[in-house]
Structure 1
């Protein structure tokens, strides 16, 4: 039986508040300064001094501006770090985030159309259909989705496909594209349910994709097919490499075997036992391309493999819930930066698994680990390269406490050679398929 809040209960609540004089002090502070400023702990700033025992020289930070491309920026940053070491490109060199953005938008449109066709027989009230229509596409993505783009289209320097208004501020484009995709979904579902021939449906889908290509080209510019790569290295020596394709550029200047880099997650929920592989239904961008696959491990293993890659001189792509217990201006991510529980005299504690299961947390942002402070070979804090420009943190770099990593980091990408041998064998197993709305399907 439902029960309302009675007048007697309200009187009790009010009397309880009035009986404690400290509440009035807190009220004055919170109403004047806000919750975060009032609960902030100066000791977190002191403890998160940006000095690290392992500190990679990775150059200047990039700026994703008003777009949700952190996953691309973080991935391209790890690649340009290697280029800086191997070819001496200058600190401000960047790979084109606009180039990969263009192809991701086109591929996501096709991926959406295919899922619409697969679910066309279901009512619009079905949870899968509703999930598809809620956000037909967005800026975010996963590591394997980025690799799918790279494997098909390669990469280019930023100089040959620079930023545009729409790549740096994507809200208007996303609104227009999602409108088109939902409108197209109406037609595709009607065609399927009317028994239209498959060839006719495919022809109509191709026309839709042509229109999406046009929208992308007008908003981002057309991607280069061939280009010349000119640069001066850190010693000011001039270099030119002519008639490169994006795939040839990736092979020569990045040179990764993309299959070597795998997603490792820490999801301590009951439905995901450790040391097994997982994938997520309807999560991806390139149809027929690389599948999103996660190896779930305990937090101790999670940290050890990240440290091993840093010790080898290679930065680490990672995904986290950046909005939790973090100060953007100072560039601090620490579980002790705010004490809202003490401020309100309320217990806010939840386990990592509970936060995932009950919608309190999930991966929201991708960045790059570029250093770690080890004391007695144990991590105390981590250096983080963000993609929010150099006006936040320490010239754009953040400091993350080890406790914050424990609670709010969900994914790292490492070369599989840094995994223990028994986990390298686990990579071969078939992945358990998770529901589309599983928190491990969140897009950074």
Structure 2
């Protein structure tokens, strides 16, 4: 491949400086943040609004903040679930505990990792699959299918029962320590398996030490069947006390069944109306690995609209922070005039996935939608988990143009998609764990 010639670079520089628009852009870009200077007034005016034709009531309160952790998926799920509980018990403010789910997810991911290390012990340590497993074994991130697994096994509690610790809000240190142990344990298990030793007993010893570390850093959560009293006051100042357990709180008090939900995916690289399975992506050994039903993007939108019209918030996964403007809370592909500086990407959604330009990196909740006179979506009201300081007091306006290009997943009730009953039974298309659709929302 020929190297760049200095004469060519000189010519290119001359062309930039001789173009008045590019020359002005260069002057601005070296002196200011283009995220602010290239904001398009028209888009900002159109989307700086809190008017939506359909909004879930009540909106969740207070606005949550995942802080310096990758727990967005846990916050998005608990923010969706709390609305149902707030309606049921006439509560003004309520937060469920992402940290409770976080503890058990870390524990289960550690066990899931070690189990996969044993299963791949015959592979060379430098093989792609083993190297992938070693890369980030207990990521803060996750997918809704992983939440299903934790909810079904351990349940859920209010935030007052298991609030944040320093290390749930800033998870880097505990992650570093646990991963260091897991890498050592992976070596020990591989060597034990090759020597014909009992890996099950060894793994149990290793997991006990992982549990010890997690307990020290994240706190001691209730077991799934441990009793606690949930005490609260409703909007009418009436006091309530409910004696329950984490599993009963999830199944009976909230009245939610995660197994009756479906994650709809929009992956235009693969056939629609097919199940997509991500190999070796999960958290609980023996529970389902992450899978989706792949459908057209209009199906995602229509099913999300149906759920909002039924006064239910919607968990969704998207690419963040691309085209996000935190000061205004606008998410819009047309918010910046990038074309004026010669930046005009042409890749399709499918090609962005193929070339790793785009992937699902963040989960939030749709709590409203604005439909035009023909019933078509124009913009979406989004509840985020970045605190009130970002966005419009914690909320964002996401345009439908952005939805079509960068939203990948919505979670809906199975009863909303009877027309896809047969599609859910199709032989899965299995993608490798390093595929962009195997990305974890953080």
Shorter-chain TM-score range: over 0.9
Deviation by residue 1:71-104 (Cα, 9 ceiling, x = unmatched): 011111111010011111222x111111111100
SS at match of 2:368: strand
| Larger mean Cα displacement after TM superposition, 14-23 or 246-255 | 14-23
For 1:216 and 1:325, the matched residues in 2 are separated by 36
| Structure 2 equivalent of residue 425 of structure 1 | 422
State the match for 1:120 in structure 2: 121
What is the distance in 2 between the residues matched to 1:360 and 1:27? 25
Aligned twin of 1:265: 265
Partner of 2:367: 370
Matched, 1:77 2:79: yes
Q: Tell me the alpha carbon deviations over residues 150-193 of structure 1, each in whole angstroms, 9 at most, x when there is no partner.
A: 00000011111111000111111111111111111111111112
In 2, Cα distance between the equivalents of 1:186 and 1:7? 50
Deviations 1:244-302 (A, max 9, x none): 21111112221122221110011111xx1011101111100000113322001111111
Output the CA distance in 2 between the equivalents of 1:73 and 1:64: 7
Once residues 290 and 83 of structure 1 are traced to their aligned partners in structure 2, the CA distance between those partners, rounded to angstroms, is: 27
Paired with 2:23 and 2:422, the residues of 1 have a C-alpha distance of 60
Matches within 5 A, 1:309-388: 309-342=307-340, 344-375=341-372, 376-388=374-386
Give the match's secondary structure for 2:181: helix
Shift of residue 425, structure 1, vs aligned partner: 2.1
Aligned equivalents of 2:278, 2:64: Cα separation in 1: 30
Please, what TM-score do these two structures have when normalized by structure 1?
A: 0.95
Question: Is residue 265–residue 409 contact of structure 2 (8 Å, CA) maintained in 1?
Answer: yes
Query: Retained in 1: the 8 A contact 2:327–2:392?
Result: no
Query: Paired residue for 1:24?
Result: 23
More displaced stretch, 57-66 vs 68-77: 57-66
In the alignment, the residues of structure 2 paired with residue 86 and residue 430 of structure 1 have an alpha-carbon distance, to the nearest angstrom, of 39
Question: Using the alignment, how far apart are the partners of 1:21 and 1:159 within structure 2?
Answer: 59
Give how far 1:387 is off.
0.5
2:435 paired residue number: 438
SS in 1 for 2:103: helix
Q: Is the 1:58–1:84 contact (alpha carbons within 8 Å) kept by the matching residues of 2?
A: no
CA distance in 2, matches of 1:251, 1:323: 34
SS of the aligned residue for 1:32 comes to: coil
Find the counterpart in structure 2 of residue 202 from structure 1. Answer: 200
Distance (Å, rounded) in 1 between the aligned partners of 2:290 and 2:280: 10
- Structure 2 CA distance for aligned equivalents of residues 28 and 10 of structure 1: 19
The aligned counterpart of 2:52 is 52
Equivalent residue, structure 1, for 2:38:
39
Q: Say which SS state the counterpart of residue 31 (structure 2) adopts.
A: helix
Q: Which shifted more, 171-180 or 30-39?
A: 30-39
In the TM superposition, residue 126 of structure 1 has moved relative to its aligned partner by 0.7
Residue 223 of structure 1 and its aligned partner are, at CA, apart by 0.8
Unaligned runs of 5+ in 2: none
Give how far 1:349 is off.
Answer: 2.2
The offset of 1:408, in angstroms, is 0.5
Q: Is the 8 A contact 2:40 2:337 kept in 1?
A: yes
In structure 2, the residue matched to 1:415 is 413
User: Tell me, which stretches of 5 or more residues in structure 1 are unaligned?
Assistant: none
Contact residue 262 and residue 412 of structure 2 kept, 8 A: yes
Quote how far apart the aligned CAs of 1:11 are.
2.5
Distance in structure 2 (CA, Å) of the matches to 1:96 and 1:423? 33
TM-score by length of 2: 0.96
Q: Does 1:169 align with 2:170?
A: yes
Aligned pairs for 1:242-281 (under 5 A) are: 242=243, 244-269=244-269, 272-281=270-279
The match for 1:89 among 88, 91, 95 is 91
CA contact (8 A) 1:80 1:94 kept: yes
The corresponding residue for 2:111 is 110
1:423 offset after TM fit, Å?
1.0
Determine the C-alpha separation between the residues in 2 that align with 1:236 and 1:75: 27
Q: Distance in 2 between matches of 1:254 and 1:431?
A: 32
CA distance in 2, matches of 1:134, 1:249: 35
Look up the SS of the partner of 1:289 in the other structure. coil
- How far did 1:17 drift? 2.1
Q: How many corresponding residue pairs?
A: 434
8 Å contact from structure 2 (residues 118, 199) kept in 1? no
**In structure 2, what is the Cα distance between the partners aligned to 1:118 and 1:221?**
31
Give the whole-Å Cα distance in 2 for the aligned partners of 1:107 and 1:248.
21
